[in-house]
Amino acid sequence: MFRGAISRRLLHTSSSSLARIIPNRTRITKEISPEEVFRFQQQQQQQTTHTRFSLPRNTNGIITPQDPIYEILSQRTLVIERQIEFMNLFIGFEQANKYSIMNTQGERIGHMEEKDVGILKIIGRQFFRLHRPFTIDVFDRYGRLALTIKRPFSFINSHIKALLPGYDDRDNLMYEVVGESVQSWHLWRRRYNLFKLQDEEQNEYEQFGMVDAPFLSFDFPIRNEVGDVMASVDRNWVGLGRELFTDTGVYILRFDQESFSGVTGYGQISNHGY
């Protein structure tokens, strides 16, 4: 109300009255010297607080609750769906892969994206196909980088590494290898040996599981040293049309005994899980 009264009063005030009320002010400009600019930048840097990030203390490759990937891997079961690549669908052109990560309720809790930078990598995708190198970044539900999966080029046996990301005091991205998958050659079977970081100082790895599945299998159980199933990666059938004409699929990751409830054909399930 007070502001409205002032507005109405100004409307009835003549221009000469306004001239008496508002003094005539002239803005004075002054060129700033380089020394003054430097001092100003120093003051700004001193006032700005810098948050320091460091690699998590993942002794022997153990993932802790402070890691962004922890929320994803703490699920008993994960559903990973590969998105349809339309250029691959229509003209057979290989595109970078993208995946959605969901829990058993269908809630999206993360996603994965394959890096595809540079014309040489794009060309390599078309020729090397299953033998091509790739780098896949895993993000949590908040978009934070949680894990990076890398595979170099290989003629026969693939070697995949799981790297945990972190940042130094200058915000430079750093990685720590926490696990590996090394393929073992076989003429008609798909065999993989799985390792975890055992001694980070000596860079030693300990095998904790293996996969031995037929060539055209859709189920890849992970067995421990006594042959019990501790986890599995299964590809679900999504329909004849989608399987034939698209390079997509739905993958189910099971991590403990409860996640195998109602599922048959795996034999003895380990009580300890993954």
Query: 138, 210, 147: which is closest to 178 by C-alpha?
Result: 147
Whether residue 257 has pLDDT greater than 80: yes
Q: How many domains are there within the chain?
A: 1
In a domain, 36, yes or no: no
In a domain, 254, yes or no: yes
% helix / strand / coil in the chain, to the nearest 5? 25, 35, 40
* Percent residues over pLDDT 90 in the chain: 38
In a domain, 237, yes or no: yes
In a domain, 46, yes or no: no
Residue range 90-98: average pLDDT? 62
What single-letter DSSP state applies at residue 33? P
In a domain, 273, yes or no: no
Q: What is the pLDDT of residue 23?
A: 46
CATH code of the domain covering residue 117? 3.20.90
In a domain, 206, yes or no: yes
In a domain, 274, yes or no: no
Higher per-residue confidence, 173 vs 101:
101
Rounded Cα–Cα distance for residues 107 and 78 (Å) = 10
> Domain of 231?
59-260
In a domain, 47, yes or no: no
- How many other β-carbons are positioned within 10 Å of the β-carbon of residue 24? 5
Whether residue 214 has pLDDT greater than 70: yes
